[in-house]
Amino acid sequence: MTAVAPLLEVDDVSKRFGGFVALDGVSLTVTPGERLGLIGPNGSGKSTLVNCLCGALHNESGTVRFDGTNVNGMTAHQRTRLGMARSFQLPRPFTSLSLVDNLRIPLIYSANVRRGSHFTAAEIEERCGELLRLVGLDAKSRRLPRDLTQVEMRKLELARAMGADPKLLIADEAMAGLSHSEIEDILKLLDRLNEHGITIILIEHIMRAVMSFSQRLVVLVSGKKIADGNPQDVIRDPEVERAYLGQ
Amino acid sequence: MRSWLFTVVVIVAGAALFAVSRFIQNDYFFFAGYVVLQYIVLSTAWNILGGYCGYVNFGTAALFAIGAYTSVTIHKLLVTSRIYPVSIPELIIIAGVVSAIVGLGIGYLTLRLRGAFFSIATLALAVVIQTFITNWDYVGGSRGAYVIRPQTAPLVGSYIQYLFLVMLVLAVLSIAVARLIERSRLGYGFATIRDDEIAAEASGVPTLRLKLIATTLSGALMGMAGAPLPYYVGYLDPASGFNLAYAVNSIAMPVIGGTTTWIGPLIGAVLLGTLQQWVTVTISSAVSLLIVGLLLVGFVIVAPNGLVGLMRPLFERRHR
Amino acid sequence: MSFPLDLLINAIIAGLLLGGFYAAVTSGISIAFGILDIVNIAHPAFIILGSYIAYIVNSQFGLDPIITSIVILPAFYALGAIVYQVYYVSFERRGQEALRGLAFFFGLLFITEVVLILVFGVDYRYVEAIYIGPTLHFGFVDLPLRMLIPCLVSLLLILVLQVYLTRTFIGRAIMAVAQDQEALRLMAADPIRIKRIAFGISIATASLAGAFLIVIQPVEPSVGRDYIGRVFAICVMGGMGSLPGTVIAAILLGVVESITATFYGPSWAPAVSFGFLLLTLAFRPAGILGR
Å between C41 CA and nearest CA of chain B = 8
Query: A92, B194: Cβ pair inside 8 Å?
Result: no
Could you tell me the residue range of the domain that residue B191 belongs to? 3-243
Statement: residue C84 has pLDDT above 90: yes
Give pLDDT < 70 ranges for chain B: 1, 139-142, 148-157, 239-242, 315-320
Stretch C238-245: mean pLDDT, rounded? Answer: 86
CA distance B10 to B173: 9
Query: A105, B196: Cβ pair inside 8 Å?
Result: no
Statement: residue C183 has pLDDT above 60: yes
Q: Is B229 a member of any domain?
A: yes
pLDDT at B217: 96
Q: Is B275 a member of any domain?
A: no
pLDDT at A85: 94
User: CB-based contacts of A161: which residues, under 8 Å, 6+ apart?
Assistant: A85, A86, A87, A106, A169, A171, B202
- Chain C neighbors of B117, CB-CB under 8 A: 236, 281, 285
Q: Which amino acid is at A108?
A: I
* Model ipTM value: 0.90
Given C41, C103, C277, which is nearest B296 (Cβ)? Answer: C103
Q: Is B223 a member of any domain?
A: yes
Q: Which amino acid is at C275?
A: G
CA distance C43 to C76: 12
Query: A80, B200: Cβ pair inside 8 Å?
Result: no
pLDDT at C190: 81
Q: How many other C-beta atoms lie within 10 A of the C-beta of residue A116?
A: 6
Q: Is B232 a member of any domain?
A: yes
Give pLDDT < 50 ranges for chain A: 1
pLDDT-derived band at C290, boundaries 50, 70, 90: very low
Q: Which regions of B1-132 does DSSP assign to beta strands (E)?
A: none
CA distance A84 to A70: 13
- Give the dihedral of Cα atoms A79, A82, A86, A92; nearest 10 deg: 70
Q: Is B313 a member of any domain?
A: no
Q: How many helices (H) and strands (E) does chain A have?
A: 10, 10
Q: DSSP per residue over C251-280, as a string? A: HHHHHHHHHHHHHH-GGGHHHHHHHHHHHH
pLDDT, tens digit, for every residue of A36-69?
999 988 888 898 999 999 998 888 889 999 998 9
CA distance B128 to C41: 17
Structural contact between residues A80 and B202, judged by C-beta atoms closer than 8 angstroms:
yes
Q: Which amino acid is at A124?
A: I
CA distance A55 to A52: 5
Q: Show the domains of chain A with their CATH numbers.
A: 8-92+160-245 (3.40.50.300)
Given A80, A93, A101, which is nearest B204 (Cβ)? Answer: A80
Q: What percent of chain C has pLDDT over 70?
A: 91
Q: Is B272 a member of any domain?
A: no
Structural contact between residues C235 and C246, judged by C-beta atoms closer than 8 angstroms:
yes
Terminal Cα distance for chain C, rounded: 46
Q: Is B262 a member of any domain?
A: no
Q: How many domains does chain B have?
A: 1
Helix (H, G, I), strand (E, B) or coil at A16: strand
Angle at C120 (CA atoms; ends C115, C124), nearest 5 degrees: 120
pLDDT at C276: 81
Q: Which regions of chain C does DSSP assign to beta strands (E)?
A: 135-138, 141-144
Q: Is B310 a member of any domain?
A: no
- Chain B neighbors of A109, CB-CB under 8 A: 185, 189, 203-206
What is the DSSP-derived secondary structure letter of residue B242? T
DSSP H helices in A116-230? 121-135, 150-163, 180-195, 207-213
pLDDT, tens digit, for every residue of B45-81?
999 999 999 999 988 988 998 999 898 888 888 777 7
Given A77, A94, A113, which is nearest B191 (Cβ)? Answer: A94
pLDDT, tens digit, for every residue of C259-283?
888 888 887 777 787 778 877 777 6
Stretch C99-128: mean pLDDT, rounded? Answer: 89
pLDDT at B40: 96
- Please report, for residues A168, B81, B127, C1, the alpha-carbon distance to residue C274 in angstroms, rounded to integers and kept in the order given: 45, 36, 7, 33
Given B198, B205, B206, which is nearest A105 (Cβ)? Answer: B205
CA distance C102 to C76: 21
CA distance C187 to C192: 14
CA distance C272 to C237: 13
pLDDT at A134: 85
Query: B121, C233: Cβ pair inside 8 Å?
Result: no
Query: B123, C100: Cβ pair inside 8 Å?
Result: no
CA distance A129 to A194: 20
- What is the total residue count of chain A? 247
Nearest residue to C204 via CA among C83, C91, C87, C60: C83
pLDDT at C284: 61
